[in-house]
């Protein structure tokens, strides 16, 4: 059952390493650094535009439509405005921590893209531990957020930062377990190998894993309905209440860059990465990333926010057991049928539906109160 690529053998024969650039590794490094920075910054602008426009449409209003055609230049105007703003540092703030926080939060997001393939072999470094690298680096952003909350000397900021640490620590576990299912099928930790192994996109082979990764990923980067760390109706603006000017812009950038990371990871791990017919690979990658992000915007406009104890309960009582079960079932399937993969699609989807329904009977959001 070939979903995307008519001839899988042709893909396997392609070189998995980057072509040898004139000048060797350093040219390769320079080129991809530029590509990654441009990609992240441009796509973040695209994301901001897409989110504001899509949200406007869903909320029966227009959204930004003054700057440029369809308001496309709105993010540029926003960036210019924010750079001209006064940079305010609270008197009681820990100045160094306050200054470092946005930088520490932003750097890891760029680093993650070093291992995300934009096309076959087109990545900065094809690490053989690619996905472990991603998991390790992505947690550093939390440190930046907590520094912001602590360094601002504002109670709302501190509350937001506390919530962020709690949610990241809890959601890391189901997320990593759902990645483990993918790694089991692939037999490799390299991101490029994971994409190459997806003759059938893993969303079909690992539907439950995809669900857990999507929910957990949204919770980790604090997208709605898990946006407790900057819940505007409760704790004003959360950890970045005291930030203004360019430092605020950095946090704004981090928020969308993290959404970009999660969409890129979902695309790579579950949606077949850059693979697809007719269109060039990088365009497929872009389209899939945008589709994933659109789903995030959709949920943001639709769902109310969960409470902190419900957030914890969802991680530990719902996602964690399901992720374990998913890993267990995947392991059995791989031991029993190492090759007959296409046949497992309906089985896995049925298993997902049954498990989720069963667990929903046991678990209601308001059912268990977990003290934080």
Rule CB under 8 A: which residues touch another protein?
55, 58-61, 155-156, 159, 224-225, 227-228, 231-236, 300-310, 364-366, 371-372
Tokens read off for 205 = 């082979």
Cβ(266)–Cβ(295) below 8 Å: no
Tell me how long the chain is: 372
Instruction: Quote the least distance from Cβ 236 to another protein, whole Å.
Output: 6
Chain centroid to CA 157: 23
Distance set, CA 341 to CA 5, 132, 179, 185, 199 (Å): 15, 25, 18, 10, 10
Q: Which of these, 186, 175, 198, 205, lies nearest to 274 by C-alpha position?
A: 198
Closer to another protein at the Cβ: 291 or 372? 372
Q: How far is the CB of 222 from another protein (least distance, A)?
A: 12
| Residue closer to another protein, measured from CB, 61 or 66 | 61
C-alpha closest to that of 177 among 39, 83, 336, 316: 316
3-state secondary structure of 287: helix
Measured in whole angstroms, the distance separating CA 99 from the mean position of its chain's CA atoms is 25
For residue 155, the minimal CB distance to another protein (Å) is 5
Shortest distance, position 205 Cβ to another protein, whole Å: 28
Per-residue tokens: 328: 């267990």
Q: What are the DSSP calls for 74-130, one per residue? A: HHHHHHHHHHTS-----TTS-HHHHHHHHHHHHHHHHHHGGG--SSTT-SS---TTH
- Sequence-distant (6+) residues with CB within 8 A of 151 are 93, 94, 95, 96, 97, 98, 101
In this structure, is the dihedral angle defined by the CA atoms of residues 322, 324, 329 and 330, taken in order, positive or negative? positive
Nearest to another protein of 140, 365 (CB atom):
365
Pick the closer one to another protein by CB: 281 or 368: 368
Q: How far is the CB of 359 from another protein (least distance, A)?
A: 13
Question: Nearer Cβ to another protein, position 134 or 228?
Answer: 228
Using the minimum distance from each CB to another protein, give the nearer residue, 289 or 314. 314
Question: Can you tell me which residue has the tokens 């959404």?
Answer: 259
Cβ closer to another protein: 191 or 311?
311
CB of 369 to another protein, least distance (A): 10
Nearest to 121, CA basis, from 190, 25, 40:
190
Task: Report the C-alpha gap between 206 and 268 in whole angstroms.
Answer: 13
Q: How far is the CB of 248 from another protein (least distance, A)?
A: 17
Region for residue 68 given its phi and psi (left: phi exceeds 0; alpha: psi -120 to 50; beta: otherwise): left
Cβ atoms of residues 110 and 37 within 8 Å: yes
d(Cα 37, Cα 41) in Å, to the nearest integer? Answer: 6
Task: Work out how close the CB of 60 gets to another protein at its nearest, in angstroms, rounded to a whole number.
Answer: 6
Residue number with CB closer to another protein (261 or 312): 312
* Smallest gap from residue 228 Cβ to another protein (A): 8
Pick 104 or 158: Cβ nearer another protein? 158
105, 258 in Cβ contact below 8 A?
no
Closer residue to another protein, CB minimum distance, 312 or 329:
312
Least spacing, CB of residue 88 vs another protein, in Å? 16
């Amino acid at each position: 059952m070939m979903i995307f690529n008519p001839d899988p053998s042709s893909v396997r024969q392609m070189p998995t390493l980057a072509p040898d650039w004139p000048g060797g590794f350093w040219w390769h490094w320079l080129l991809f650094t530029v590509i990654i920075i441009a990609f992240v910054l441009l796509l973040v602008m695209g994301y901001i535009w897409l989110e504001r426009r899509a949200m406007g449409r869903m909320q029966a209003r227009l959204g930004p439509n003054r700057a440029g055609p369809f308001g496309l230049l709105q993010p540029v105007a926003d960036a210019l405005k924010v750079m001209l703003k006064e940079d305010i540092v609270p008197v009681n703030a820990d100045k160094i921590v306050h200054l470092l926080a946005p930088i520490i939060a932003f750097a890891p997001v760029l680093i993650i893209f070093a291992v995300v393939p934009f096309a076959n072999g087109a990545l900065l470094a094809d690490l053989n531990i690619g996905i472990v690298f991603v998991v390790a680096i992505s947690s550093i952003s939390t440190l930046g957020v907590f520094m912001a909350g602590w360094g601002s000397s504002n109670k709302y900021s501190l509350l937001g930062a506390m919530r962020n640490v709690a949610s990241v620590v809890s959601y890391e576990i189901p997320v990593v377990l759902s990645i483990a299912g993918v790694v089991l099928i692939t037999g490799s930790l390299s991101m490029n190998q994971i994409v190459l192994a997806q003759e059938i996109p893993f969303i079909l082979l690992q539907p439950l894993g995809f669900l857990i990764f999507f929910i957990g990923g949204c919770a980790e980067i604090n997208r709605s309905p898990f946006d407790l760390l900057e819940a505007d109706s409760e704790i004003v603006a959360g950890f970045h209440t005291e930030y203004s000017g360019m430092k605020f812009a950095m946090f704004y950038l981090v928020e969308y860059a993290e959404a970009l990371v999660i969409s890129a990871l979902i695309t790579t791990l579950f949606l077949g990465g850059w693979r697809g017919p007719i269109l060039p690979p990088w365009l497929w990658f872009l389209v899939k990333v945008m589709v994933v992000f659109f789903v995030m915007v959709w949920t943001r406009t639709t769902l109310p926010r969960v409470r902190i104890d419900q957030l914890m309960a969802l991680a530990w009582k719902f996602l964690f057991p399901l992720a374990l079960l998913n890993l267990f079932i995947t392991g059995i399937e791989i031991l029993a049928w190492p090759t007959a993969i296409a046949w497992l699609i309906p089985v896995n989807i049925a298993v997902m539906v049954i498990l989720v329904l069963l667990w929903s009977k046991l678990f209601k959001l308001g059912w268990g109160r977990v003290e934080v």
